[in-house]
Amino acid sequence: MKHVYLDNAATTPMKPEVVAAMTDQMQNDFGNASSTHFFGRTAHAALDKARQTIANALAVKPDWVIFTAGATESNNTAITQTAHARASLGKHIITTAIEHLSVLEPLRALEKEGYTVTYLPVDENGEINMADFDATLDDDTILVSVMYGNNEVGSQMPIKAIADRLRDHQAYFHVDATQAFGLLPIHPEELGIDMLSASAHKLNGPKGVGLMYRAENVKIQPFMRGGEQETKRRAGTENVAGIVGFATAVSLLDDDAKAQLQQRYASFSREICSKLEAAGVTYHVNGNLDRPRLQHVFNLYLPGASTYAMQTNLDLAGFAISGGSACTAGSLEPSHVLTAMYGEKSPRLEESIRISYGSMTTMEDVDAFADALIRIVQRLIARSK
């Protein structure tokens, strides 16, 4: 049986070019990038080259790119260290109700320390209202942390509008761009973003490697201590092979390639909708396909078919999808994203699935998936009657 992977928002398979670059690095250059001898200098040169590649993609200076173990570390660093560094200026932070848990959990911890956090609500498109943002931004606000695009429904946030509001404000602006970095051209300096997080494994790179962009004006203490790596901003021996893999993955995605992927992914969603309609299957899209969005994430509400049953049956049929964020996959709690969008009593919370495409997804995969989904949903609904 062929297995089709449609859970790319959780992680992506590494591209052959990435594997080759990492293999070469591990086999031929094992030095510690902090060592001063030949082996260390060679490793450091590879590190510098990778940093420059990623800085070029972000259109920023290479010194402003800090390598981390992933977006979770980057998010925790940006949030916790900003709060502690700027406590004398205020203790108010603004975020949204649909952020990733690696943003929400540090904020909840800060609330226990006496900080006040405003969780902006979202509408049924998964979008915030800028009037709500304007109403809550005040002189005590020291940080705004908003994701670029949502990992469960694909909705995009008004990043430029927020940055414009903060241009003459004391608050730092942090953006979790984990899902968007490999799909949209993102230039933080041009946009007015002070800090940005991303992970390699979301764009066909390796797991365990991420970045934190930090503008020159941002003054915070390191989150990881114990060494002077990353120009004293993040302690710990750099994962040079992983970083080289990250840079290789980034180099394979110029702005034209990203635009083509967005168009291709949108066609996949249209194909699934068309097949569901032709088969007479009732469905609703969680979010809005006509709004600016990350097209690789497609979240479907299928009335009468439970999320768990759909996941299980699709897995047995050879299709890997998700009920929501991979970071909450082991939880019995409903999606906090769908809860924020539709309310805690909505049936969508227990009858929705997330399909997420990747660069290796084909239309043949999508057609086969849609056919299997139709059979499974029709069977589940028939059994429930």
Q: What pLDDT was estimated at residue 235? A: 77
Residue type, 4: V
Q: What pLDDT was estimated at residue 311? A: 96
Phi-psi region at 358: left, alpha or beta (left = phi > 0; alpha = psi -120 to 50): beta
| Separation CA 373–CA 277 (nearest Å) | 12
| Separation CA 30–CA 101 (nearest Å) | 35
pLDDT tens for the 385 residues of the chain, in order: 899 999 999 999 999 999 999 999 999 998 989 889 999 899 999 999 999 999 999 999 999 999 999 999 999 999 999 999 999 999 999 999 999 999 999 999 999 999 999 999 999 999 999 999 999 999 999 999 999 999 999 999 999 999 999 999 999 999 999 999 999 999 999 999 999 999 999 999 999 999 999 999 999 998 888 887 888 889 798 999 999 999 999 999 999 999 999 999 999 999 999 999 999 999 999 999 999 999 999 999 999 999 999 999 999 999 999 986 555 445 557 899 999 999 999 999 999 999 999 999 999 999 999 999 999 999 999 887 6
Q: What pLDDT was estimated at residue 385? A: 67
| Separation CA 361–CA 298 (nearest Å) | 14
Q: What pLDDT was estimated at residue 299? A: 98
- In 3D space, the residue among 135, 136, 150 whose CA is nearest the CA of residue 97 turns out to be 150
Please name the residues in contact with 11: beta carbons below 8 A apart, sequence gap of 6 or more.
Answer: 201, 202, 207, 326
| Separation CA 163–CA 145 (nearest Å) | 11
| Separation CA 197–CA 76 (nearest Å) | 10
Q: Are 299 and 353 in contact (CB under 8 A)?
A: yes
Domain parsing of the chain, residue ranges: 4-12+255-384, 16-251
| Separation CA 94–CA 316 (nearest Å) | 42
Q: Model pTM?
A: 0.95
| Separation CA 162–CA 95 (nearest Å) | 11
Q: Are strands 141-145 and 172-176 parallel, antiparallel or unpaired?
A: parallel
| Separation CA 335–CA 324 (nearest Å) | 6
Phi-psi region at 246: left, alpha or beta (left = phi > 0; alpha = psi -120 to 50): alpha
- In 3D space, the residue among 169, 119, 171 whose CA is nearest the CA of residue 147 turns out to be 119
> Do the two domains 4-12+255-384 and 16-251 of this chain adopt the same fold?
no
Name the CA radius of gyration of the chain, rounded. Answer: 21
Catalytic residue among 97, 327, 368, 374: 327
Q: Phi and psi at residue 343, in whole multiples of 5°?
A: 95, 155
* Strand positions, DSSP E, the chain: 4-5, 65-68, 92-96, 116-120, 141-145, 172-176, 195-199, 210-214, 284-285, 297-301, 319-320, 352-356
Q: Is 273 a catalytic residue?
A: no
Structure tokens at 195: 């800090």
Q: How many CB atoms lie within 10 A of CB 219?
A: 11
Terminal Cα distance for the chain, rounded: 31
16-251 CATH: 3.40.640.10
Question: Cα 206 to chain center, whole Å?
Answer: 15
Q: What pLDDT was estimated at residue 331? A: 53
Q: What pLDDT was estimated at residue 224? A: 82
Q: How many CB atoms lie within 10 A of CB 140?
A: 13
143: three-class secondary structure by DSSP: strand
CATH of 4-12+255-384, one of 3.90.1150.10, 1.10.420.10, 2.40.50.100, 3.30.70.2190: 3.90.1150.10
| Separation CA 122–CA 133 (nearest Å) | 11
Half-sphere exposure of 379 (CA within 13 A, CB side): 10
Phi-psi region at 26: left, alpha or beta (left = phi > 0; alpha = psi -120 to 50): alpha
